[in-house]
Structure 1
Amino acid sequence: MSSQGTRGGGNRFPGVVAAPFAMVKLGPDVVNGTMDAYSGYLPDGKIWGFSMMHESGTGGAPKYGVVSQIPVLGEVPNPLVDLSQPRELPDEASVGYYKSTLANGVTVQLAATEHAGLYSYSFPSNGTASIVVDASHVLPSFRGLGWEQHYSGGSFSIFPDGHYEGSGTYNNGWNLSPDWTIYFCGNFSHQPFSSRTFNGNVSASRSYSNSSSVSGHARLGGVFTFVETDLKSRVGISFISTEKACRNLNAEITKDTELETLVQIAKSRWNEEVFNKVQISSNHTEDLQLLYSSLYGMFLIPSNRTGENPNWSSTEPYYDDVFTLWDTHRCHTSLSHIIQPKAYEDFIRSLIDIWRHDGFMPDARSSNFNGRVQGGSNADNVLADAFVKGVTGAINWEDGFAAMQTDAEVVPANNFDPKAPDSSTKEGRGALPDWLQYGYITPRYSRAVSKAVEYSTNDFALYQVAAGLEKVDEAERYFNRSRNWRNHWNPRATSHNHTGFVVPRAANGSFLPQDPLECGGCYWGDAYYEDNSWIYSMNAIHDVAELKRRVGGDERFVDRLNKLFELKIFNAGNEPGFTSPFLYNLLRGAQWRSVDRSRYIGGLYGAGEKGLPGNSDAGAMESNLLWQMIGLYPLTGQTTFLVLSPWFESMTIRVGDGKMLKITTTGGDRGTAFYVQSLKVNGEVWDKAWVAWEDVFQDGGTMEYVLGERPVDWATGDLPPSPASWETSYL
């Protein structure tokens, strides 16, 4: 199950994650020339450690790979040399379990809890067994972009009873964080006959010490040698202290805990908290693997660090390893709300609490530090999506709106990111000065056009929450600002027989020459991020009626959507284009075209190692597929879900509090007969190409599809709402 997306750029973490969002993510670190191992794992190469912390599906540069140990045959005169080993056999993995068989004959099996890990080693019987614990171990990056992690220093102490404690301090990685520290506490199932600390560096590799405690900025750790060949190693970690790491270890993995016990607990938790929430009628192995592997990939990160926040004291939940809301706000967070409603509420509370103490909500966050912002302040969209769907619980929505207003009104300090030094990439909206002065963003700011489109959706999010809180003046202001994407619309920009695209605009109001098909590198320093103007011109999903008018009406809108595929502009691995294939639903008689696109996108996925059409991006890619299977697509910040076509004859989704959404299909098949002929919602004939949250998710419900081989015009009712296209706000 956990091998999906581990090859071909998916960057999925295949190691042990004992529960959804568990802090410990225990697995191998692989080196293969100059390839970045973003999650620590590469399918080919040598294993140079098994470490306690990883992220899944991230890009840019690796993060973590800390608190590592590696088994070595015989004694270890120099622990600073290359101790990596090829694999003798392919690794094996399942939920809660990982196994590597190394070329030196050592077998390593892994299991974990939320804050601790268990290593089980089997050495060949004809020699001594050593384990090297390396506090300086950290995943490297070879891209040369300045995003590589660094080890800053650490400490390591061996105690008379054989257990060890220590810490490591590291910095940088994809979010450019300053120094952060992780503490650890470990012991073994047998007393070593020899143990020592080491402290040195590459140029003085033999400067290790027999003392029981070392600290400093050089590479350091411990070497433990045993006469026994079957060993267990237990390790706890904490962001607070070594004492807390020891408490975590002793509370979660005792000396008598068996590896298989932890594996079974992990499977039970994943089944209860995630997998059992969705049931399908199919008995096809590929279907089941694809569904449940995708669900698994969705909930590996962020990491639930409640009680492990070193920067402030709070009774609120705390989540870290947010990669990134730019990726996940489009369809991941809305599905998280359905599958994991309690954790979703806790996550919203955590975003607001980070604002309380750090000053801004994160768009991305890792190692307790905000960064990096790729576009807008998309925590705003996540909060609005929760708000309009009635998520309350213990959320303080007055504080939530104040956090959103910070994004909308306060210019964040520039962190001088070398790839985009014009404004902050740490948090907030770096290009806010232009947004407030001009109502658009000039080229003095990088990613100006894509930021402008996203700032518009962010301001629509503020409108939604302000309106619900009856903040009349604020609602009116942000409603008007949510239309500012229009200020980048050049009606004379042309491409492939279409006119009108969002393009760069100078401070004097003039539009700059721009080929809508081109975006330079589509990266940090360019006018558009990850996609071109064809895609971003379709991204104001709160204002589609106005977009249709500007494009030239329904027929031209259909042709423009078609061109995304005919010209091979659409890339299923790029999040800005996620929603575009389904905007046909906002036209009369065209819902079947969204179904066509959905089936095409679903066909790009598989259950195997190359089963993702792009980087997992913390489960964004997997959630996109899951919505195709369900046969709906969310419009974030609104209660609207666009109707597609479900994959299965029957699917049941537990939506909380014992409520169910049951989706059935008759008369069709997955291969050819997948067009909607008719639909009933909660037993009533349905004539709209969309449903609202309250129709099917709020209290559960039923959706009964009749499918067939040919498109029919069944959706003759009201079009989906386009709220920013109203003459004024509803207030």
Structure 2
Amino acid sequence: MVSACAYSGAYPTGYGRYRKNTEGVPEELFDTLQASGFTHFQQSGTGAIRKYYNYVRVTPMVQPLDELGEAWPLRDETASAGYYAATLDTGIRCEITVGEKVAVHRYTFPESSSARVVVDLSCGGLAIEHGRTVPLRAQVESMGRGHAQGTVVLEGVPLSVYLQVDSPGWRQMLWHDRRLIEGGTRLDFDSIRQTTLRPFGLLFMGSARAGRTIEVRLGFSLRGCDQARENLERECGEEGPVFDLVRARTSGRWGDHLSRVEVDGGTPARRQVMATALYHSLIKPCFGDDESPFWPASGPFAFDVCTMWDIYKAQIPLLMAIVPDRAADLLESLIRVCEEEGNFPIGYRMARGADRFFRQGSALAHTALADAHALGLGGLDWSWALVHMVDDLRRLYGEDFLEQGLVHPITHTLDLAYGHHCTAKVARALGDKRLADELEERARNWVNAFERSTGLLRDSEFYEGGKWNYSFRLLHDMRARIALAGGEDAFVAMLDRFFGFGGSVPVGRQAGRPPAAGFAGAVTQPGRRPSAEEMAAGYALNRFEGLNNEPDMDAPWAYHYAGRPDRTAEIVHAALTWQFGTGAGGLPGNDDSGGLSAWYVWASLGLFPVAGQGRFLVNAPAFARAALRVDGGEFVIEASGHRDEPIGADGVEHTPPTQYVRSATLNGRPLETTHINASEVHRGGLLRLELGPEPSQWGRSARPPSVSDARPGGGTT
């Protein structure tokens, strides 16, 4: 539930050096990383989401309170899963760790006659234009002897914190507007506005000899100060230093989670990126069990679902495979949100509002629910879940889809058709044939989104993309979709154009590195504050965006449905080789709560989940051996003939050749198809792949299933 990080107030997410931006290269606010303290609750790799938490800032100081908010350069930073440390330019060594619902800070001071730890409960958001989160109401109470508590209402959520500060002999005071309140024990603010907000909080102050260590323990709750205190006492005990204990416990939990995907082989850089990607994939969503501020019942409360548009294709299937209990908790929480607020959320933060982010997509939770039901995941009440799945299909854009079979933005037509298909699967499995037939009939309306003359989507508005980006999504009826494009050869030609094969611009060195295989033609990247014309010129290329956004993350695997898995291998290999690295900027776009990193994990394993359809597509992996710890034991992928190839981070001067699958077996039986069922992965087994440097006939004669395969005569309607 809790995250903690150094706070600069800049983008991204409050730890960074930049102004907030949505296009092009961000503008720097300052030259070096710096911090004005350490805050709690952060987004993870999201774009311009506008509100970034950063609540309850804790600042160790040797300066007067008047200087609160000044930022000091960070030196000697170090980080590992569950731990962060840095030295402020003031000489204070700062360490932070977190537990499930707690954060523990440890500060080692230089010699000072007036050292202090300042807790600012008014902090929130980013310290840039339109980035601030202003509390609505607040109360703070100083209870003496290193104990305090407070509740701050932000975006409709009452965030409570209970503090213990291990600082014997230090004074403890409240402060408001950077002025100490002598003798005061309580502050109450009934209504705070942007124009009336003045900082407020707590201060602990005293002398410090060189090397003096102060420990600050914070328990959080969304259900009041009493539960915040209980959370703190349960994880940290009632008194005494606990930093090392909490850090070890959290490190152990991370070690367990990160060991659920293990790889052998690969260069050091590739292994580092893989481990980082797995870590990023498991940071979000956040779970505050028994902490929902919106309903009184116990159970999981999931937030930082930022957003389903980002995570439903790759990240949620990864959670289902290696942390199925948490995946089930996520779905249970989403059902409860729908019950309480009337919509399955596309995005859901620690704030009421399931209808936010609705422009991104529609009915995306339905894919995860369909997969979970097919896998028998969790103890969900499926008849109740089906009620909400059906009702949600009729909300927002769904009403027009129900009446007309077509909505704009046109991508929502695809979403809603797919949502109907996924809901029909659950209804049929539960024995409601009439409902399933009705839903499946509407699911065929995906064809209304396409222009038959071009084989592409109709002209419309598009969220962060264009018609080409969205035109190659993996649908439930890929056989009919390919027929609509003019057949397999025409579909492959369209994909080749999208991915830059046969580009008219000569291939050459770009940006100091060799070109990736399959990406022909120099493309100029936008700079600072790009004009609308510059961005329009880039989009007009109608090229694959290179994983820096969600609409076409699954597009490389569309080749599988046209019998060309070799093309998938070339594109994915190029992306894994050149678009990811170990340094700053080592991702080709926003990580978006782990959605992009989950793509990297699956692509490196040689598998890709088709969300909502209960299957994986098979491709050449990036490692000689990999093992996923699943409920059924282990699912192992072994690749004979695999070569360890460098990635862009190694600074190599050549493009490594693509490796292709030449033959495959699953649990000892020949595998002629390019797909396997998700249930086969989840119950454990062995997938053996023979790789080679040239394409083969493997996978050319079989196609992954489409719903029209099961209809009389096949084909589209």
Residue pairs, 1:128-143, within 5 angstroms: 128-140=114-126, 142=128
- Inter-partner Cα distance in structure 2 for 1:401 and 1:143: 43
Instruction: Name 2:228's counterpart in structure 1.
Output: 245
Change (3 A) 1:148 1:477: farther
Matched, 1:544 2:478: yes
Q: 1:717 to 1:56 in 2, by over 3 A?
A: same
Deviation at 1:619, TM superposition (A): 0.5
- Provide closer, same or farther for how the CA distance between residues 164 and 355 of structure 1 changes in structure 2, counting only shifts above 3 A: same
Find the residue that maps to 1:186 and give its secondary structure: strand
**C-alpha displacement at 1:139, in angstroms?**
1.7
1:383 and 2:369 correspond? yes
Match of 1:594 among 568, 572, 584: 568
Instruction: Give the one of 59, 83, 86 matched to 1:70.
Output: 59
Alignment check: 8 A CA contact 2:62 2:112 kept: no
Shift of 1:40: 3.9
Within 5 Å, give how 1:394-433 maps onto structure 2.
394-409=379-394, 411=395, 430-433=396-399
Provide structure 2 residue ranges, at least 5 long, that are not aligned to the other structure.
19-31, 501-540, 646-655
CA drift at 1:699: 2.1
Change (3 A) 1:74 1:327: closer
**Structure 2 residue 149 is the aligned partner of structure 1 residue 165:** yes
| Contact 2:469-2:542 within 8 A present in 1 as well | no
Offset, 1:191? 3.0
* Deviates further, 394-403 or 351-360: 351-360
Structure-1 residue corresponding to 2:613: 638
1:691 aligned partner: 676
- Secondary structure, in 3 states, of the residue corresponding to 1:166? strand
Q: What does residue range 286-301 of structure 1 map to in structure 2 within 5 Å?
A: 286-301=269-284
Specify the alignment match of 1:502 in structure 2. 457
- Shift, 1:238, TM fit: 0.8
Following superposition, the deviation at residue 577 of structure 1 comes to 0.1
| Aligned counterpart, 2:463 | 529
Match of 1:582 among 547, 551, 557: 557
Q: Is the Cα contact below 8 Å between 1:198 and 1:223 reproduced in 2?
A: yes
Two-structure CA RMSD over aligned residues (Å): 2.2
Alignment of 1:449-598 (within 5 A): 449-492=410-453, 499-503=454-458, 514=459, 527-539=461-473, 541-566=475-500, 567=541, 569-571=543-545, 572-588=547-563, 590-598=564-572
SS at 2:325 equivalent: helix
What is the match of residue 173 of structure 2?
196
* 244, 261, 275: which one aligns with 1:260: 244
Query: What is aligned with 1:445?
Result: none
Residue 6 (structure 1) aligns with:
none
Give the TM-score of the pair, scaled to structure 1. Answer: 0.83
Counterpart of 2:697 (choices 692, 701, 713) is 713
Structure 2 counterpart of 1:421: none
2:604 is the counterpart of 1:629: yes
C-alpha contact 1:95 1:263 (8 A) present in aligned 2: no
User: What is the distance in 2 between the residues matched to 1:384 and 1:99?
Assistant: 42
1:463-483 CA distance string (max 9 Å, x none): 111121121121112112112
- Output the CA distance in 2 between the equivalents of 1:158 and 1:289: 46
- Structure 2 CA distance, aligned partners of 1:399 and 1:141? 44
Residue in structure 2 matching 1:702, options 657, 673, 686: 686
Instruction: Specify the alignment match of 1:309 in structure 2.
Output: 292
Aligned identity (percent) is: 24
With 715-724 and 552-561 compared, the bigger mean Cα shift is at: 715-724
SS at match of 2:393: helix
**Partner residue, 1:87:** 73
For 2:713 and 2:147, the matched residues in 1 are separated by 64
User: Conserved in 2, the CA contact under 8 Å of 1:154 and 1:220?
Assistant: no
Larger displacement relative to structure 2 (670-679 or 237-246): 670-679
Q: Are 1:39 and 1:58, in contact at CA under 8 Å, matched by a contact in 2?
A: no
| Amino acid across the alignment from 1:195 | Q
SS in structure 2 at match of 1:129? strand
Structure 2 vs 1, CA of residues 482 and 143 (structure 1 numbering), >3 Å: closer, same or farther?
A: farther
2:584 and 2:244 map into 1 onto residues whose CA distance is: 25
Partners in 2 of 1:303 and 1:88 — Cα distance? 27
**1:226 is aligned to 2:206:** yes
Q: Deviations over 1:146-166 (max 9, x none)?
A: x75222231111113231111
Residue 427 of structure 1 is matched in structure 2 by none
Q: Does 1:54 align with 2:42?
A: yes
Residue 726 to residue 303, structure 1, CA distance change in 2 (3 Å): same
For the structure 1 residues 283 and 125, does the alpha-carbon distance in structure 2 shift closer, same or farther, using more than 3 Å as the test? Answer: farther
**8 Å Cα contact 1:37/1:62 also seen in 2:** no
Aligned to 2:638: 664
CA distance in 1, matches of 2:467, 2:182: 60
* Structure-1 residue corresponding to 2:405: 439
- Which digits, 9 at most, give the CA deviation of each residue in 1:494-532, with x for residues without a partner? xxxxx23221xxxxxxxxxx4xxxxxxxxxxx7111221
Aligned to 1:11: none
Aligned residues of 2:474 and 2:610 also touching (Cα < 8 A): no
Deviation at 1:726, TM superposition (A): 4.8
Count residues in correspondence: 633
- Cα distance in 1, alignment partners of residues 620 and 701 from structure 2: 18
Say if 1:136 and 1:153, in contact at 8 Å, map to a contact too: no
Task: Report the Cα offset of residue 74 of structure 1.
Answer: 4.2
Measured at CA, do residues 42 and 406 of structure 1 come closer, stay the same or move farther in structure 2, by a change above 3 Å? farther
For the pair 1:98 / 2:84, whether they are aligned, the reply is yes
Instruction: Determine if the alignment matches structure 1 residue 123 to structure 2 residue 96.
Output: no
Identify which range, 338-347 or 52-61, moves more after superposition.
52-61
Q: In the aligned structure 2, how far is the partner of 1:269 from the partner of 1:679?
A: 35
CA displacement at 1:134 relative to structure 2: 0.7
Q: Which amino acid in 1 is paired with 2:201? A: G
Q: Deviations over 1:651-680 (max 9, x none)?
A: 1111114x1111111123144361111111
TM-score by length of 2: 0.84
Residue type of the alignment partner of 2:412? K
In structure 2, the CA distance between the partners of 1:683 and 1:474, relative to structure 1 (3 Å rule), is same
- Summarize the Cα distance change of 1:139–1:368 in structure 2 as closer, same or farther, 3 Å threshold: closer
* Contact 1:40–1:139 (8 Å) recurs in 2: no
Q: Return the match for 1:285 from 268, 271, 275.
A: 268
Matched-pair contact (CA < 8 Å) for 1:483–1:724: no
Q: Deviations over 1:190-214 (max 9, x none)?
A: 23532321223xxxx6585641211
SS at match of 1:191: coil
Q: 1:609 aligns with which of 584, 601, 618?
A: 584
User: What letter matches 2:203 in structure 1?
Assistant: V
Aligned counterparts of 1:565 and 1:667: Cα–Cα separation in 2: 27
1:506 is matched with none
What is aligned with 1:517? Answer: none
Cα distance, 1:592 vs structure 2: 0.8
State the AA in 1 paired with 2:620. Answer: S
Distance 1:450 1:94 in 2: 40
In 2, Cα distance between equivalents of 1:691 and 1:185: 50
Q: Secondary structure at the match of 2:153?
A: strand
Partner Cα separation in structure 2 for residue 337 and residue 570 of structure 1: 28
Letter in 2 for 1:435: F
Aligned-pair CA distance for 1:614? 0.9
**Partner Cα separation in structure 2 for residue 39 and residue 339 of structure 1:** 30
Displacement of 1:256: 2.9
CA distance in 1, matches of 2:586, 2:248: 26
Mark the CA change 1:700 to 1:440 in structure 2 (over 3 Å): closer, same or farther. same
Distance, in Å, in 1 between the alignment partners of 2:698 and 2:440 is 33
CA distance in 2, matches of 1:259, 1:221: 23
- Deviation of 1:372 (Å): 2.3
Deviation at 1:551, TM superposition (A): 0.9
Alignment-mate amino acid for residue 484 of structure 2 = R
1:27 aligns with 2:16: no
In 2, are the aligned partners of 1:316 and 1:353 still within 8 Å (CA)?
Answer: no
Q: Which residue of 2 aligns with 1:155?
A: 139
> Helix, strand or coil: the match of 1:101?
strand
> 1:181 aligns to what SS in structure 2?
strand
Does residue 300 of structure 2 align to residue 322 of structure 1?
no
